[in-house]
Structure 1
Amino acid sequence: MAKFNGVYVALVTPFTEENQVDYEGLKNLCNWLIEEGVDGLVPGGSLGEYATLTIEERTKVVETVIEVANGRVPVVVGTGAPSTAQAVQWAEHAKIHGAAGIMALPPINYKPIENEVIEHYRALSEVGIPIIAYNNPKDYPTDLTPDLLAEISKFKNVVGVKEFSGDVRRIQEILHKTDLEVMVGVDDLVVEGALVGATGWIAGVPNALPKEGVEIFQLAKEGKIKEALELYQYLLPLFRFDANPQLVQSIKYMLELAGRPVGSTRPPRLPLSTEQYQKIEEAFKYFKKQTV
């Protein structure tokens, strides 16, 4: 049985009008997501704008989410950092404060060679906390191929992978070559991913539509293809926004449309154009109209 089953929301970080972290807003978001039925929470990821947070802010974000979850759902903490030593520190912090696991990128500042990637995960595994390797070759220089994952999976604490390559065929190959559990990493392949063996989904758009996210993933996992596809056709235009570089601005705007505003993004992420916001709003209204 997979350790990280179901829908884990990759949390956005709410900001105030003064662009400070809104910890009360973060608490409210976490409570609402849990009440809506999500299976887990993931602070400190790319969607959470971890790279723009100070050490103090990032520390408090992680501790706030774990405190609010209070054992109701597992918390998996993102550990992306410029050096292996820093990533290990974030992993140790997550372990000390009771996280269920970490979501760990490979080295992010340059294109490492294979043995450097392997040693990076060896160091993280030695912390003694379950690890979901994060493969995102769209935004970072390393592609955790199935063959490379087969090497990384030899470490005791590497138990899963968030697969964000956009190639759904990877899932079957990973399952064939490793004993890792696979979590869908890009929203617009969630149905396909569940149908070919993914047991979890680290999700973006369900920040704003958690109940619908849980429903569609469960339908797909249960093989209820007709029902899943009926919902998918209405959600897919929104899910597409998770697969582009402006996903943070897009999903934060979806939260505003859902009546749960979380503020803007921090530079270098800037507001989108009026035309881009209109496209998101149209997709959101289309979904709402079809599901009333």
Structure 2
Amino acid sequence: MARFEGVYVAIVTPFTKDFEVDYKRLHELAEWLISQGVHGLVPAGSLGEYASLTAEERAKVVETVIKAAAGKVPVAVGSGAPSTQQAVGWVRHAKEAGAVGVMALPPINYKPLEHEIIAHYEALASVGLPIIVYNNPHDYKTDLTPDLLAKLAKIDNVVAVKEFSGDVRRMHEILEKTDLEVMVGVDNLAVEGPLVGVTGWIAGVPNALPKEGVELFNLARAGKVAEAMALYRRMLPLYRYDASPQLVQAIKYMLELAGFPVGPTRPPRLPLPQADYAAIREAFQAAAGGR
């Protein structure tokens, strides 16, 4: 049985109008997502704006989500940081706070050599929490290829990969070459992934439309292709925003449209042009229209 199975929402971090972290709203959002049927939560990822948080804020965000989850669903914590030492510190904090695992980027400040990548993950693994390796070659300089993942899979506690390359062929190859659990990393492969054997999805847009995300993933895993595709085609215009650099602004606006406002993004992320919001609103109304 997969350790990280089903739909894990990469939860956003709510802010007040003055850009302070709104921990009360974060707790409410986590509870609401759980009530809507999501299988797990991932705080302090890119969608959670981890890079804009102070160390104190980040720790409290993680602790707030774990407290809100209250053991009802597992929490896997983002560990991205500029140095291996800092990342190890966030893995330790996640373990102490009660997380079941971490979602771990490779070194992020420059293009590392293979032995540096391996050493980085060995250091993270030494803490003793299960690790979801996070491959995001679009936003970072490293591409964790299937062959490199096969080497990382030999490290104790490296058990899964969030695959964000956007190439469904990668999923096939990872499943062939490793024993890692594969998790869809980008929303617009949410059907293709489970159809090829993926067991999890670290999701963005399901912050705002969680029931639809869970239903879609379950339909695809069950092989109910016609039903899945009918829902997927409705959701795809929204899901494509998850692959955009402006995904945080877009998804926070979707939450507002869903009746669950979570405040602004923290600079340097600024509001989008009005034409973008109009396009998101149109796509959201079409996606949510089948409720």
Residue 143 of structure 1: aligned partner? 143
- Under a length normalisation based on structure 1, what TM-score does the superposition of the two structures give? 0.99
Deviation string, structure 1 residues 182-206 (Cα, Å, up to 9, x no partner): 0000000110011011100000000
Deviation string, structure 1 residues 135-191 (Cα, Å, up to 9, x no partner): 000101100100000011101100000000000111110011110000000000110
Residue 226 of structure 2: aligned partner? 226
The SS at the match of 2:103 is strand
CA positional deviation for 1:104 = 0.1
1:1-292 equivalence runs, <5 A: 1-289=1-289, 291-292=290-291
Distance, in Å, in 1 between the alignment partners of 2:204 and 2:138 is 16
Deviation string, structure 1 residues 256-279 (Cα, Å, up to 9, x no partner): 000000001011111000000000
The SS at the match of 1:89 is helix
Distance, in Å, in 1 between the alignment partners of 2:287 and 2:157 is 40
- Under a length normalisation based on structure 2, what TM-score does the superposition of the two structures give? 0.99
Q: Which runs of 4+ in 1 moved over 3 A?
A: none
* Structure 2 counterpart of 1:251, one-letter code: I
Distance, in Å, in 2 between the alignment partners of 1:242 and 1:125 is 28
Aligned residues: 291
CA positional deviation for 1:10 = 0.1
Distance, in Å, in 1 between the alignment partners of 2:288 and 2:245 is 25
Distance, in Å, in 2 between the alignment partners of 1:97 and 1:221 is 32
Distance, in Å, in 2 between the alignment partners of 1:168 and 1:201 is 13
Give 5+ residue unaligned stretches, structure 1: none
Give 5+ residue unaligned stretches, structure 2: none
* Structure 1 counterpart of 2:133, one-letter code: A
* Structure 1 counterpart of 2:69, one-letter code: A
CA positional deviation for 1:237 = 0.4
